[in-house]
Amino acid sequence: MVAELATRRLRLSTFGPSDAADLHVLFSDPRTHTIGGGPFTSIGQTGRWLARRDQVRADLGFVWYGVRLNGTLIGNCGVFPGRTGAVEPEIGYLIHWPFQGRGFAGEAVGALLGECRRAGIGRVWATIRERNAASRRIVERHGMSLIRTELEDLLFYALKF
């Protein structure tokens, strides 16, 4: 996968070590980082997250991008080894809460899925909590279909290219 993508409004580029502080602002905000264990409490957590993404890129070629608007980091979007038990990657994305509701996540996901297709990835997954209607609309708008539900809360979407 390429190191940089561009959309009409956004620039998506791989993270570097100097991005940790800006990314930590997003990850430590409880209104923005609502998945997993919730907001990060230390910059060390953000650094370890970045290191894992770097290792996945080195091992598998999957890329995680910083999403920037006019040079400001407003989110992230990328692919990682999926939780589905398959070799196929899973997509993920996060937009800082002050920038939500403006179509930035959908724009970034569209660019990411286009790059997945170009890179020859045959199918991608998305795991979304049932209550996250905005995220469900984004993946459905980009052609992903609901495949299964687990634990009455997790919805698994897939897109085959």
19-to-4, 88, 104 alpha-carbon distances in Å: 15, 28, 19
Single out the residue of 6, 94, 20 nearest to residue 54, CA to CA: 20
Tens-level pLDDT at each residue, the chain (161 residues): 999 999 999 999 999 888 999 999 999 999 999 887 889 999 999 999 999 999 999 999 999 999 999 999 999 999 998 765 556 899 999 999 999 999 999 999 999 999 999 999 989 999 998 889 999 999 999 999 999 898 778 888 888 87
Which residue, 112, 59, 58, is CA-closest to 90? 112
Q: Are 109 and 142 within 8 A, CB to CB?
A: yes
Instruction: Specify the pTM.
Output: 0.93
| Other CB atoms within 10 Å distance of the CB of residue 133 | 10
C-alpha dihedral over 28, 107, 132, 84, to 10 degrees?
-90
Dist. CA 122–CA 22, nearest whole Å: 33
